[in-house]
Structure 1
Amino acid sequence: MAQIIIDSNPSQEKLNELGVSSWNIWDCPPSKFPLDFTMTEKAYVLEGEFKVTPAGGETVTIKAGDYVEFPKGLKSQWEVVKQLKKHYKHF
C-alpha cells in the first residue's frame, strides 16, 4: 500500500526548489470527510492541524510546518482539528 510521506519542518531551500509558494492555497474549517486521491498531491501546511486515516492504515497527524505527499489511489478519512490552510499541487 502506498504511504503518506511527511517531512516535518522541511528546509526553506527544499520549499523553494519545489516552488511551493506558487502552488494553490486550500482553506478548510474544522470538519470530517472522506478524501480519495485520483492524483498524487504534494502539500505544505501553513496553518492548522488535521488527521488522516488511510483505508486499512494508521492515523497520521499533520500540522503547520509539515510538507506532505499523498499518493495517487489513496483512500482516506480526514478530520480537520484546527482551521487548515495549505499550499498544494497535483501531479
Structure 2
Amino acid sequence: MKIDVEHYTQEELEEEGVFDWPIWERDEEKFDWFYDQTELCYILEGEVTITTEFESVSIKAGDFVTFPKGLECVWDIQSAIKKHYSFE
C-alpha cells in the first residue's frame, strides 16, 4: 500500500472540485491512524510525516495526497495541518 503524492495546477484542483470539499485541521501532534476508505486530500497549510510499515512520506502545503483504503500509519505533524479532504 503506497501513499501517492502529486502536484496539481490550480485549474486541475478546481476541475476536481477540491475547494468545495470539507476542511480538516490539526495542531502539532503524533497519532496512529487507519484508513477504512480511500481518502483524497489537498494540503493547504502545514507539514506532516506519515510513516507506514513500508515507507515514510513527508507532505506539505501544495501536495495532493491519496491515502489508500486499508492503510495503517502514524501521523507526525510538525506544523499545524489544514487540508481539504474527500473519501471515495
Same fold (TM over 0.5): yes
Calculate percent identity across the aligned residue pairs. 43
**Secondary structure of the residue that 1:87 maps to in structure 2?**
strand
Q: TM-score, normalised by structure 2?
A: 0.96
Structure 2, unpaired ranges of 5+: none
How many residues are matched? Answer: 88
Q: By how many angstroms is 1:12 displaced?
A: 1.1
Q: TM-score, normalised by structure 1?
A: 0.93
1:58 alignment partner in structure 2 = 55
Give, in whole Å, the separation in 2 of the partners of 1:18 and 1:12: 10
Which of 35, 38, 56 matches 2:36?
A: 38
Give, in whole Å, the separation in 2 of the partners of 1:81 and 1:59: 14
AA aligned to 1:66 is D
CA RMSD of aligned residues (A): 0.7
Cα displacement string for residues 36-77 of structure 1 (whole angstroms, at most 9, x for unaligned residues): 0000000000000000001x2111000001000000000001
- Deviant stretches of 4+, over 4 Å: none
